[in-house]
Chains A and B, each alone.
Chain A
Amino acid sequence: MNRLLVLGVNVLVVSALLVVYGFLVGESGLVGVGFSASILGGVLAVYSTIPQDPSVVALVNYSSLLLNAVTSVLEDLGLLDPQVCAIRRGDVTLLVYSETPCPLEVDPGVGFSGGSPYLAIPTSTPSTLYEATGESTSTLLERSLTALLVDEFSVCKGVRVEEEAGQYVVYITGLADVSKQFLERPLDPYTLLVLTVSSGVLAATCVRLIERRISPDGVLVVLRAEKSGAEG
């Protein structure tokens, strides 16, 4: 329970009493004031459900710690300019950073495939994926990304997906201030989430990141699904 919730509940109680009093004395103006105040109290109570600063700050600090550790590993492996792919293994998607695109013979963690080092981060399939209902793949991907990035995580305000020559171009706009700071890292939440969701929606063995471009408006991510993948 936080202060905004307490304030909202107090306003609701007072406004309810005002409404009752207004009905008893037959003063409809007071009833209107009471109802208006009750809406104010309700809005305050609802807005108390929004994540508070301490929890957001804690999440940012935790994410920064994780990113620092993973970036250090990438530096040691010489993978600061890597090929990034999402490789499906049943219910688990491996986000693979490697020198060669889409190495299939990889296990979670650090290893070597075909003589080249890789880092594979396991992720689970998000629960907000939509199932195909006759619409195009790009529309399905857009709906799934919007449900996850906009509705659930609120890391951006809009997502648009276009299919061009077998590649999927994802435009992410209205980036949240708290997650913008991670765009400068080799791992950023937008690319990782887009790759993970795309792996589930496109049902491809390997989804490869072709390009990532940061603009003042947002982020542009270009993907390609490679059904057979490439080894080592």
Chain B
Amino acid sequence: MERRVSILVLVYAFLVVLSIISLYGLSEKRVDVYVSLNILTYYVSYAIVRPTYTSRYVKALNILLFIVFAIIVSYRVYEVLST
């Protein structure tokens, strides 16, 4: 595998495990917090490592994760504004 992709996978996996352990240790019960933090972790890892090769599936994944993140954030903002 290309070196940068390997680094991306390692960094992302490490940060995800770290975030999951941290959130569960803080007794976080909201599912969307886990998901949104995971997506943020992915984008941070991708932005730092920037793999040379990608595929159309990776591009589709990036778009899909962004949409999911936008939906979660929009829902939370709506919740705040409606209270």
Contacts and interface: CB of A to CB of B under 8 A. Distances in A.
27 contacts: A4-B9, A28-B30, A29-B29, A32-B28, A32-B29, A32-B30, A33-B34, A36-B19, A36-B20, A39-B35, A40-B38, A43-B42, A44-B9, A46-B58, A46-B61, A47-B5, A50-B2, A50-B51, A50-B53, A51-B2, A51-B55, A52-B1, A53-B1, A53-B2, A56-B2, A56-B53, A154-B54
A43 B61 contact: yes
A32 B9 contact: no
A43 B12 contact: yes
B27 to A, nearest CB: 7
B1 to A, nearest CB: 6
Interface string A128-168: 00000000000000000000000100100000000000000
B34 A35 contact: yes
A33 B30 CA distance: 10
B12 A33 contact: no
The 4 closest A-B pairs by CB, nearest first: A32-B34, A36-B34, A32-B31, A36-B38
Given A46-B55, A50-B54, 8 more contacts: A29-B29, A47-B9, A49-B57, A50-B55, A52-B1, A151-B56, A154-B54, A176-B52
Contacts of A154: 52-54
Residue from B1, B8, B27, B33 having most chain A Cβ neighbours under 10 A: B1
A29 B24 contact: yes
A35 B52 contact: no
Contacts of A36: 16, 19-20, 34-35, 37-38
Interface size bracket, B side: 35 or more
Contacts of B35: 32, 35-36, 39
Interface of B: 1-2, 5, 8-9, 12-13, 16, 19-20, 23-24, 27-35, 37-39, 42, 51-59, 61, 65
Interface in A174-194: 176-178
Contacts of B53: 50-51, 56, 154, 176
